[in-house]
A and B are shown apart, each in its own frame.
Chain A
């Protein structure tokens, strides 16, 4: 292990920041082509990270086995990403560069990520766009036929590439198609409807997984020389989130149970623009892409009585005169206005609502208004068409067309869910859980502290610090899968070229399968009264209340007790229908909820340990007089990596100290 006492080492190669990756890559140990043919790699997950890694490793000649619990690799949650993907192409000539993307990401992450990883991410970002275009990803284009860009929050350049509001879908289909090609060639063996529920270690190295065949319930043993987890984030620990319903933390927590460290679990992202919750039955929340903040203005009524009248349905947004509107982001952050980073925008919305100015019946909602943009675009379009003195109605009509072209599918989705026309009435939005910056601890090679176990994409903690900038998750998933892991995995595998194929009849595999079976039997034996879903909902409420947008030591201490009590109740009163050897979605859910509960406790412990406010982690005790986050670099410039010792014990904290040689630590200001 890469530890001395409790201090972790990220294994960052030496040298200048700008040359580090190129130099390292050209000196990395390689695995010769004839040896690759004897080496097996397990990739769990087929999202952007998993699909791109499995396809690339297959192209390189490794024997790849790839797993997903979905019925098809194309269904991974990455498919739902809307807004776009960043790359330092500088196609706009607006002063963008690798360094600027690096700097924005480090700053956006509130100085809690590793410089070298972030720089590498910015560096390979440009190749991702090239690769995707070559695969046929239909990015938005300008009339000249060249690629178009838009801006995202937290930055002042236009570097976001997009495919209408379906960027994730198009990028994932590109990766899926490359993966399909490797499957057809026999380089990747695809296991759909297989869920990893145990990690297998042999001599301290990750050598396989136990996968539950979701159709038959069989616990299958699969061996390989190395295991890559690309299993996504854990946002569903909050129950309600913008993640797909089946996103879960089981693969990561199974690794944690076998010794892998969970890093910065309390760094979670609350996205400012989601459709507010409407009822108790609600199963998920829907994101309205951040790209909307390019053109939408966020406001609440300045007068509490107006806000109340709107909540009661007596007034609508249109009844509030311009002078009585509080465009609170523009007021508080004049330099960035509506384009401040997500954590800042979310907290500001919460403050506005806490002060009593919310505009939906629950009090938890603000407006996102496009009327100014519609008018502006309409006038400019009229100008282009040579219409002098166009009627107001004509201007609005033209403007709505422009907005439709940019965000049509998002507006349509909003209308389907809310039943309101967002061209005529401002959207109603509220923050919701969206992304998890925390995840499995990995070093520069993307290897966890368990040798042979790698983690890529949202499942690792690596690049976003305490807050992720918009359009950077797609970039990171694909950077890891296409351009980083396929090289760095060689550092581990080059020492393993004479290790024979793993024998799945070895005692380590049998023991892991037995462990999985015991966990399943235990759940069936409870024979209680409450569904897994109901426990999940209650867990989510605790975590949202005490470990959501703002946190206090007192609340977190109480949350930990509540999570523990919920765990006891879960193991005493779970009702699990059906049988183990069958397609049984309730069993799948129960196994996942059990892992979410354990993760929930580690999150709360992490949030309690971090006596500062940074990025998505806002501790009320640590704020400036005007309510901004108060970071404490002298004591907390580290990554927390938690070693799990079982549910009944305190996890152990390992620290990776962060060093900043290329940027100056500043108070993040968007004013």
Chain B
């Protein structure tokens, strides 16, 4: 395949960026999208030019490091698929592909296609855990959990923290990410004890980080590579309301 690539280049956070156009021949349809960028970078290296910075690690769709907005869609055109698992067979010979970083004020661009998603870590630090120290646990089978409940919690727990939901949302809201963790822990008996405090603290941190509000557009769910459901947002809203009424022990 032969491709034209319009790629966002930005030397650093405080310098303005712009699109550059590259053309690439001999792209195999079996290549993954990131392998295609590897080939481009190798070519740029050969021409003694500076390769394009982009983030990736596992290349198996699980670490959440890869990002990119491809032709306007976070993680590209294929549903339920991260950028690293997208293959070139999903593009056409001769196509022009536009590649940009995530755009959200909570995710500043660091260089080219890399952004800073540290805000998501700080939301977890605000309360996305169960307060149990090492050695305090009882026997694992002492708390039977209904298979369906465990499975439901699991679905929420599979969020990979990639931030595509934020990039997809016109308001740059982090509700899907935050609610996935709230739901995972609130559904389990072990997590119920701190549920109220957790949701209040996590939502407060989310607001502090400059994420926008949720206006039920559900673009997040459509672009989420792990199929995290917006029903988690409804669950979080219920948790949040009842916690706001019944307590003020957030800290």
Contact = CB atoms under 8 A, between A and B. Distances in A.
Contacts of B34: 283
B44 to A, nearest CB: 8
Interface residues of A, number: 77
Contacts of B64: 74-75, 79
Contacts, number: 204
Nearest to B136: A134
Interface in A572-617: 575, 577-578, 582-583, 585-586
B35 A144 contact: no
Given A75-B63, A133-B137, A134-B138, A80 B58 contact: yes
B115 to A, nearest CB: 9
Interface in A63-95: 70-75, 77, 79-80, 89, 91
B111 interface: yes
A144 B51 contact: no
A282 B59 CA distance: 11
B120 interface: yes
A367 to B, nearest CB: 20
B250 interface: no
Contacts of A136: 130, 153, 157, 184-185, 188, 190-191
B121 A72 contact: yes
Interface string A481-499: 0110010000000000000
Contacts of B32: 283
Interface of B is mostly: loop
A129 B137 CA distance: 9
Interface in A517-541: 529, 531, 533-534
A169 B61 CA distance: 11
A170 B129 contact: no
Interface stretch (A113-121, A177-185, A350-358, A545-553): A177-185
Contact of A59 (B51, B133, B188): B133
A147 B64 CA distance: 28
A79 B63 contact: yes
Interface residues of B, number: 76
Contacts of B184: 136, 138
Interface string B121-153: 100111011111111111111011111001101
Contacts of A531: 42, 45-46
23 contacts: A71-B55, A72-B117, A72-B120, A79-B62, A80-B60, A127-B135, A130-B138, A131-B132, A131-B134, A131-B135, A134-B132, A136-B184, A139-B150, A140-B150, A145-B146, A166-B158, A169-B158, A178-B133, A181-B129, A192-B118, A281-B28, A419-B87, A483-B134
Given A72-B121, A134-B130, A145-B144, 17 more contacts: A55-B134, A56-B133, A70-B65, A71-B118, A72-B117, A79-B58, A135-B132, A138-B151, A138-B154, A181-B129, A244-B63, A245-B58, A282-B35, A413-B85, A531-B42, A585-B51, A586-B51
Interface of B: 12, 28, 30-32, 34-35, 38-39, 42, 44-46, 48-51, 53, 55-65, 81, 85, 87, 89, 110-111, 114, 116-118, 120-121, 124-126, 128-141, 143-147, 150-151, 153-154, 157-158, 160-161, 184-185, 188, 190-191
